């Protein structure tokens, strides 16, 4: 896949701000059949240090609420200003995805990149915790790191070089996600599929120099990508 939008962004800048496999490339592939209209109010759920929020505002023309638990909203605000974005374009919000305080039906759509696997594995999450904040007919675009085949009962040694069995519980198959998501009564599945992006996004990540990427290098360099994938999930609120 050619990542024409991502190529506009400086690699050093991306490397300073990413928290996992290249989120701009993942988001660009996820959004290639984008149905969310320009000007929509969009929640970037699990926005981390804000690089994906900037991408959504600049490349797709959304008004973005950069919603994240671990990052510092003030730092994110500084970054948005440095990148030339106004308060009308991106709003940083520190919030727990399982306890959102927005007005009901405030958002036209949600986009979530490399985060949903932390809080979305509860089958009640969508109907109870997220969909109430989205307008009827609104879309949810999600990309999560996944596993090609379930191997939790016999974890390959390459994966164990970087991650514990407990950490690997966050990485599941397409079938697992389909099962969880299909429990939702308030949304319909538009598509769930394995994405093309894989090695290239992991390789961009392990070139970064922080303790997390250094830890992940061991598995990726040993060939762990053959067990891994990224899964796109597109939903529509009924």
Ligand X SMILES: C[S@@+](CC[C@H](N)C(=O)[O-])C[C@H]1O[C@@H](n2cnc3c(N)ncnc32)[C@H](O)[C@@H]1O
Residue 218 Cβ vs ligand X, minimum distance, rounded to whole Å: 18
Residue 217 Cβ vs ligand X, minimum distance, rounded to whole Å: 16
If one counts every other C-beta atom within 10 angstroms of the C-beta of residue 47, the result is 30
Q: Is 19 in the site for ligand X (CB under 6 A)?
A: yes
Q: Which of residues 47-76 bind ligand X (CB under 6 A)?
A: 47-48, 51-52, 68-71
Q: Which of 6, 76, 89, 115 touches ligand X (CB under 6 A)? A: 115
Tokens encoding 98:
């399982």
Q: Which stretch binds ligand X (CB under 6 A): 19-27, 74-82, 160-168, 189-197?
A: 19-27
Q: Which stretch binds ligand X (CB under 6 A): 93-101, 126-134, 147-155, 201-209?
A: 93-101
Q: Is 231 in the site for ligand X (CB under 6 A)?
A: no
Tokens encoding 43:
């929640």
Say how far apart CA 164 and CA 154 lie, in whole Å.
13
Residue 61 Cβ vs ligand X, minimum distance, rounded to whole Å: 19
Q: Is 46 in the site for ligand X (CB under 6 A)?
A: yes
Give the closest residue to 68 by CA, choosing from 118, 6, 126, 12.
118
Size of the site for ligand X (CB under 6 A): 21
Residue 128 Cβ vs ligand X, minimum distance, rounded to whole Å: 14
Q: Which of residues 136-175 bind ligand X (CB under 6 A)?
A: none
Chain contacts with ligand X (rule: CB under 6 A): 18-20, 23, 46-48, 51-52, 68-71, 96-98, 113-115, 118-119
């Amino acid at each position: 896949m050619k990542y024409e939008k991502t190529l506009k962004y400086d690699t050093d800048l991306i490397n300073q701000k990413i928290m996992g496999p290249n989120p701009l490339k993942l988001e660009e592939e996820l959004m290639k059949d984008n149905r969310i209209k320009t000007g929509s109010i969009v929640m970037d759920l699990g926005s981390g240090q804000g690089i994906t929020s900037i991408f959504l505002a600049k490349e797709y023309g959304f008004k973005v609420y950069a919603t994240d638990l671990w990052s510092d909203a003030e730092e994110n605000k500084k970054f948005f200003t440095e990148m030339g974005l106004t308060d009308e374009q991106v709003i940083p919000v520190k919030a727990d995805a399982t306890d959102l305080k927005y007005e009901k039906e405030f958002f036209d759509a949600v986009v979530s990149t490399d985060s949903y696997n932390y809080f979305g594995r509860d089958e009640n999450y969508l109907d109870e915790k997220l969909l109430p904040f989205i307008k009827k007919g609104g879309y949810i675009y999600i990309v999560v790191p996944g596993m090609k085949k379930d191997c939790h009962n016999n974890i390959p040694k390459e994966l164990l070089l970087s991650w514990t069995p407990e950490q690997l519980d966050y990485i599941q198959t397409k079938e697992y996600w389909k099962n969880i998501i299909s429990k939702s009564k308030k949304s319909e599945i538009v598509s769930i599929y394995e994405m093309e992006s894989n090695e290239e996004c992991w390789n961009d990540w392990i070139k970064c120099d922080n303790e997390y990427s250094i830890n992940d290098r061991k598995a990726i360099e040993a060939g762990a990508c053959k067990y891994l994938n990224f899964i796109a999930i597109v939903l529509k609120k009924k």
